[in-house]
Structure 1
Amino acid sequence: MFFTPPASLLIVIFVSTLSAAAIVSLMTWWRDPNRRDRGAGEAGQSIFLFDGDCLIDASPPARRLLDRLDGIGTERARLCALLEHRFPGLGARLDAVEGDGNFRSEARGGLGRIEVEHWSGLLRLTLDSNQEAAAVIDAIAFAALQDELETLRCIGEDAPQLIWKLDESGRLSWANRAYMALAERMTRPPGGRSDSRSDGPPRESVGWSPEELFQEFDFTPAGPDAESCRVNLVLPGETRRRWYEITRLRRGTERVHFALEITEIVEAEQARRKFVQTLTKTFAQLAIGLAIFDRERKLVMFNPAFHDLTGLPIAFLSSRPQVQTVLDRLRDGNMLPEPKDYASWREQVAALEAEAARGTYCETWSLPSGQTYRVTGRPHPDGAVAFLFEDITAEISLTRHFRAQIDTGRAVLDTLPEAIAVFSAGGTRLLHNSAYDALWGETGSDLAETGLTDEIRRWQGMLAPTPVLGELRDFVAAFGERAEWSDQLRLIDGRGLTCRFTPLPGGATLTSFSPEMPDRPRIALRTTTLEEAGRESEGMIRLQRG
Structure 2
Amino acid sequence: MVFSESIQIVFATFAGIAAATLIFGVWAYLGRRERQTARALLREAESTVVFLFDDDTLVNATPEARKLLRRSDSRLSDWDALITLLRPRFPHIRSQLSNLAKNGKDRIAATDQGAGFIEAELWEGLARITLSEGFMTDADKTVDPITLEAIEDELDNLRGLGEAAPQLIWKQDAEGVVTWANRAYLDVIEKIEPTLDDETPPWPPATLFHDIGRAEGDAPLVERLVVKGPYDDKESWFDVTSLRRGHGSIHFGVDANAAVKAEVAQKNFVQTLAKTFAQLSIGLAVFDRSRRLVMFNPSLLDLTQLPVEFLSSRPTLSAILDRMREIQRLPEPRNYATWREELSAFESQAANGTYCENWSLLGGETLRVTGRPHPDGAIAFLFEDISAEISLTRRFRSQVELGQHALDTIDEAVAVFAPSGQMTLSNRPYDDLWYGAGGGTGLTDKRISQEVAVWQEQCAPTGTWARITDFVSAYGEREPAQARAQLQDGRMLNCRMTPLPGGSALIGFSITKTQGAAESEDRYSEPFVAARS
Give TM-score scaled by structure 1 length. Answer: 0.58
| Counterpart check, 1:424 vs 2:430 | no
Q: Deviations over 1:30-66 (max 9, x none)?
A: xxxxxxxxxxxxxxxxxxxxxxxxxxxxxxxxxxxxx
The change in CA–CA distance for 1:477 and 1:218 in structure 2 (over 3 A counts) is farther
Q: Deviations over 1:455-487 (max 9, x none)?
A: 011111122222222222222222222222222
| Counterpart check, 1:326 vs 2:320 | yes
- 2:364 matched residue in structure 1: 370
Contact 1:187-1:206 within 8 A present in 2 as well: no
Contact 1:297-1:384 within 8 A present in 2 as well: yes
The change in CA–CA distance for 1:297 and 1:409 in structure 2 (over 3 A counts) is same
Q: 2:386 aligns with which of 384, 389, 392?
A: 392
Q: Which SS does the other structure have where 2:372 is aligned? A: strand
Equivalence map 1:130-169=2 (5 Å): 137=143, 139=145, 142-164=148-170
- 1:309 matched residue in structure 2: 303
Contact 1:214-1:231 within 8 A present in 2 as well: no
The change in CA–CA distance for 1:138 and 1:478 in structure 2 (over 3 A counts) is same
> Between the two proteins, what is the percent identity of the paired residues?
48
The structural deviation recorded for 1:208 is: 2.0
- 2:262 matched residue in structure 1: 268
RMSD across aligned positions (CA)? 4.0
The structural deviation recorded for 1:367 is: 1.6
Equivalence map 1:103-118=2 (5 Å): none
Query: 2-side partners of 1:426 and 1:439: how far apart?
Result: 24
Deviates more, 1:451-460 or 1:497-506: 497-506
| Counterpart check, 1:471 vs 2:467 | yes
The structural deviation recorded for 1:139 is: 4.9
Equivalence map 1:403-442=2 (5 Å): 403-442=397-436
Query: 2-side partners of 1:186 and 1:300: how far apart?
Result: 39
Contact 1:377-1:388 within 8 A present in 2 as well: yes
Q: Deviations over 1:164-211 (max 9, x none)?
A: 5678998876543334455667789xxxxxxxxxxxxx9988742399
The change in CA–CA distance for 1:325 and 1:513 in structure 2 (over 3 A counts) is same
| Counterpart check, 1:482 vs 2:478 | yes
Paired amino acid for 2:316: Q
The structural deviation recorded for 1:227 is: 6.7
Deviates more, 1:372-381 or 1:508-517: 372-381
Paired amino acid for 2:458: M
Contact 1:220-1:229 within 8 A present in 2 as well: no
| Counterpart check, 1:298 vs 2:308 | no
Q: How many positions carry a matched residue from both structures?
A: 374
- 2:183 matched residue in structure 1: 177
Equivalence map 1:327-342=2 (5 Å): 327-342=321-336
Q: Which SS does the other structure have where 1:368 is aligned? A: coil
Paired amino acid for 1:434: R
Deviates more, 1:337-346 or 1:153-162: 337-346
For structure 1, list consecutive stretches of 5 or more residues without a partner in the other structure.
1-131, 189-201, 521-546
Contact 2:367-2:387 within 8 A present in 1 as well: yes
The change in CA–CA distance for 1:368 and 1:216 in structure 2 (over 3 A counts) is same
Q: Which SS does the other structure have where 2:458 is aligned? A: coil
The structural deviation recorded for 1:501 is: 1.4
Contact 1:463-1:492 within 8 A present in 2 as well: yes
Q: 2:504 aligns with which of 491, 502, 508?
A: 508
The change in CA–CA distance for 1:137 and 1:498 in structure 2 (over 3 A counts) is closer
The change in CA–CA distance for 1:222 and 1:516 in structure 2 (over 3 A counts) is farther
| Counterpart check, 1:209 vs 2:209 | no
- 1:445 matched residue in structure 2: 441
Contact 1:181-1:203 within 8 A present in 2 as well: no
Contact 1:497-1:514 within 8 A present in 2 as well: yes
Query: 1-side partners of 2:177 and 2:212: how far apart?
Result: 18
The change in CA–CA distance for 1:168 and 1:517 in structure 2 (over 3 A counts) is same
Give TM-score scaled by structure 2 length. Answer: 0.60
Query: 2-side partners of 1:359 and 1:227: how far apart?
Result: 37
Contact 1:362-1:376 within 8 A present in 2 as well: yes
The structural deviation recorded for 1:454 is: 0.1
- 1:289 matched residue in structure 2: 283
Paired amino acid for 2:269: F
Deviates more, 1:408-417 or 1:249-258: 249-258
Contact 1:487-1:500 within 8 A present in 2 as well: yes
Q: Which SS does the other structure have where 2:476 is aligned? A: coil
Q: Computing the radius of gyration over CA atoms, which structure comes out larger, 1 or 2?
A: 1
The structural deviation recorded for 1:240 is: 9.9
The change in CA–CA distance for 1:403 and 1:223 in structure 2 (over 3 A counts) is farther
Q: Which SS does the other structure have where 1:276 is aligned? A: helix
Paired amino acid for 1:231: V
The structural deviation recorded for 1:431 is: 0.5
The structural deviation recorded for 1:226 is: 4.8
Query: 2-side partners of 1:332 and 1:226: how far apart?
Result: 45
Q: Which SS does the other structure have where 2:415 is aligned? A: strand
